[in-house]
Structure 1
Amino acid sequence: MQASPAGGWRANLVIYAALAANLGIAAAKFVAAAITGSSSMLTEGVHSLVDSGNQGLLLYGQHRARRLPDAQHPFGYGRELYFWAFVVAILIFGLGAGVSIYEGWKHIADPEPLHDPTINYIVLAIAIALEGTSWWIALKEFAAGKGELGWWEAVKESKDPTGFVVLFEDSAALAGLLVAGIGIWAAHAWGDPRIDGAASIVIGAILGVVALFLAREAKGLLIGERADLGMIAEIRATLEAEAAITHVNHVRTVHSAPERVFVAISADFADSLSMGEAESLVERMEKTLKTRMPVISSIYIRPEKREDAIDASPIG
């Protein structure tokens, strides 16, 4: 899966759409919660407010990631986007899920009197329309970037967290709206406000599951993930096509940003090559690889005898 450039307009379209939707929805939900005393509506308001902050953090992460390399960070600041994606996951878990479960427990222990739910239904309808629009935009953009990969495989292979973070946030938001609507209806249908509190706990559980998944994916990116397997295969094939290279020992890659890849190569050069010829070969290979794959930001090619190479990686 090809990642969108950090800060690219396609990724930003998804984030801005989600931010606009969540700000409007949060305001409407808090007003409805204040009027009706609904626990699940208050929970949904907190959820939308947290999501709004999350989109702001992703935009901030994109901005920070675009800084140029310097002496302190010679490979650039691209992974800062991964850091802020991890922070977003923690906020969803801590604020979104935590507050939701706490509010639900509080309203079960001390239920508030039921109020006319009409305004809640109106707000939920508006929220579903806005959130659904944001979700559809995120879904379309992610589908456009995943190529022939399956949805789950595309998420696992993606090196740009902005797309799948917003997609999963919006999916969780829609699920939460559905649960909130059912909880409000059931509480009034059966005359038991504790059901509304239970709905808040269910919403918190949904957010917790999504947050843990996003944290795991962001952690992998933050630690450093390999490039696409097709790209690794192309690098190896390019090197093996060179007559002066007798064997490619290994090709190791790591993403330093969604569109920046560092490549380390160990190859066995023909014994007949002089030092000058080997240097020329390395320069030519670096130029060829960067031309074919512009996402390669840095290449390190090490001449090394096949029997001396230690390949700890099952790939390459």
Structure 2
Amino acid sequence: MKEFFQLLKQGNKSALMAAVVNAVVSLVKGTTYIFTGNVAMFAETLHSLGDAANQLFVFTGSALSRKRPTKRFPKGFGRVVNLVLLGAVIVVGIMAYETIKEGVSHIFHPTESTGFLINLIVLLGCTALESTVLLKAMREIIHETGAEAKGLAIFPVALKNLKQAKAATKLVFMEDTVATGGGLLAALAVVISHFTTFHQAEGIASILIGLMMFIVVGEVFLDNAGGAIGKSDEGMHLQVGQRIMTDPDVRDIQILTVIKEGDTFHVDAEVELDSALTLAEIDDIRNRIEDDLLQIDNISDVMITFDEEDSVMDWEYGDGR
């Protein structure tokens, strides 16, 4: 149990903050829906509730993925975060379905909700809270990818570097982007429904929010399904290959595999050397290359093997062939 709490301290802070904020927001929205019967508020309640559950799972998964390897699991627990995220998207998918279902029902059977002012205040207030989580996630992306940005430049820079961020941070960013946009959309629907007779606006907003949630489900599923199986990372593959080729004793790279497991990378390379080198020299080269690669952020394991130079260049144009 002590180890578990120690691991929690290393969990993704953006996910923890998002879970707490969304839990509070879902409670406020749910209470408001009970008293007003607003369909757009219902959609936002389910959305925030799903996000809160998701992000709590993500925080726990990101912490457990840092557990050290054991005899039973010698490769470590890096893929735990991917498995947790795959489970988390199921929750979002269910919430998205219910949101769309309620929206369709409201379009065919529109009703006028009450409490216009309280609905608007709650939606805008909760959206402001969710935007703070989004800002935190954007800063985390910039920090994790080594980028630099300030002020209004944070959003485009974070979006540009999103694919290189940790899986947990990406999920928080995507969910709270949808949450912020969904909150504003729901607020607009409430205004339209109150000042016109077009009460179906709330149903349409509910459907659009549900569809945005499904987009998140698709993106997260595809990203983490590959991570759970163990996928190659092209960007890191190129970086590692170029770093190996800079070593003065390396003649070529026959095989290079860079597998992403959770938030870390495992490198396996077969390198060609001059056949005249002694075993002691080869051992020094191995240590030098491994130490150099381990200096790259998020690389946790390196395995280097050697073969004699065959005069055939396999590593061409930095493409890893």
Instruction: Please indicate, yes or no, whether the TM-score normalized by the shorter chain is above 0.5.
Output: yes
Would you say the 8 A contact 1:266–1:302 is kept in 2?
yes
Query: 1:32 is aligned with what amino acid?
Result: T
**1:155 partnered with 2:158:** no
Q: Are positions 1:265 and 2:272 aligned together? A: no
Specify the code of the residue in structure 1 equivalent to 2:245: R
Would the aligned equivalents of 1:100 and 1:200 in 2 still touch at CA under 8 Å? yes
1:219-273 CA-partner distances (Å, limit 9, x unpaired): 33333232623344223323xx12xx43332432112342x33211112222223
String of CA shifts for 1:11-36, please: whole Å, max 9, x gaps: 63312221221111111111111111
Which shows bigger deviation, 262-271 or 282-291? 282-291
Cross-structure match for 1:74: 74
Provide structure 1 residue ranges, at least 5 long, that are not aligned to the other structure.
1-5
Matched residue, 1:44: 44
Q: Give 1:298-309 correspondences, 5 Å limit.
A: 298-307=301-310
Q: TM-score, normalised by structure 1?
A: 0.84
Q: What's the counterpart of residue 137 of structure 2?
A: 138
Q: Which residue of 1 aligns with 2:154?
A: none
Where 2:259 maps in the other structure, the secondary structure is: strand
CA–CA distance in structure 1, aligned partners of residues 145 and 177 of structure 2: 18
**1:51 offset after TM fit, Å?**
0.5
- SS of 1:253's equivalent? strand
CA contact (8 A) 2:14 2:172 kept: yes
Q: Where do 1:123-202 residues align within 5 Å? A: 123-148=122-147, 150-158=157-165, 160-202=166-208
* Offset, 1:153: 4.4
Within-5 A mapping of 1:1-316: 12-92=12-92, 94-148=93-147, 150-158=157-165, 160-222=166-228, 223-226=230-233, 228=236, 229-238=238-247, 241-242=248-249, 245-258=250-263, 260-274=264-278, 276-277=279-280, 280-281=283-284, 283-285=286-288, 288-289=291-292, 292-293=295-296, 295-307=298-310, 314-315=319-320
Q: 2: distance between equivalents of 1:295 and 1:15?
A: 19
Assess, with a 3 A threshold, how the Cα gap between structure 1 residues 206 and 310 changes in structure 2: closer, same or farther: same
Q: Give SS of 1:304's match.
A: strand
CA distance in 1 between partners of 2:41 and 2:110 (Å): 14
CA contact (8 A) 2:253 2:315 kept: no
Q: Which deviates more, 55-64 or 221-230? A: 221-230
Provide the rounded CA distance (Å) in 2 between the counterparts of 1:283 and 1:248.
Answer: 13
Q: Closer, same or farther in 2 for the Cα pair 1:154/1:198, shift >3 Å?
A: same
TM-aligned CA distance change 1:248 to 1:116, over 3 Å: closer
For the Cα contact (< 8 Å) 2:26–2:49, is it kept in 1?
yes
Residue deviations 1:172-230 (CA, integer Å, cap 9, x gap): 00111111111111112222322211111111111112221222222333332326233
SS of 2:191's partner is helix
The structural deviation recorded for 1:314 is 4.2
The 3-state SS of whatever aligns with 2:192 is: helix
TM-score w.r.t. the length of structure 2 is: 0.83
Q: Is contact 1:44–1:177 with CA below 8 Å preserved after alignment?
A: yes
Partner Cα separation in structure 1 for residue 240 and residue 272 of structure 2 = 21
The residue identity in structure 1 corresponding to 2:246 is: A
Aligned to 2:3: none
Task: Name which structure has the greater RCO, CA cutoff 8 Å, separation 6+.
Answer: 1
Secondary structure of the residue aligned to 1:273 is coil
What is the Cα-based RMSD across aligned positions, in Å?
A: 2.8
Q: Secondary structure of the equivalent of 2:174? A: helix
- On the 8 A contact 1:268/1:303 being kept in 2, the answer is yes
- What residue identity is the alignment partner of 1:118? L
What is the rounded CA distance, in whole Å, between the counterparts of 1:214 and 1:173 in structure 2? 16
Count of aligned pairs between the two proteins: 302
Percent of counterpart pairs with the same letter?
Answer: 22
Unaligned runs of 5+ in 2: 1-6, 149-156
The question of whether the paired residues in 1 share the 8 Å contact of 2:32 and 2:41 is answered with yes
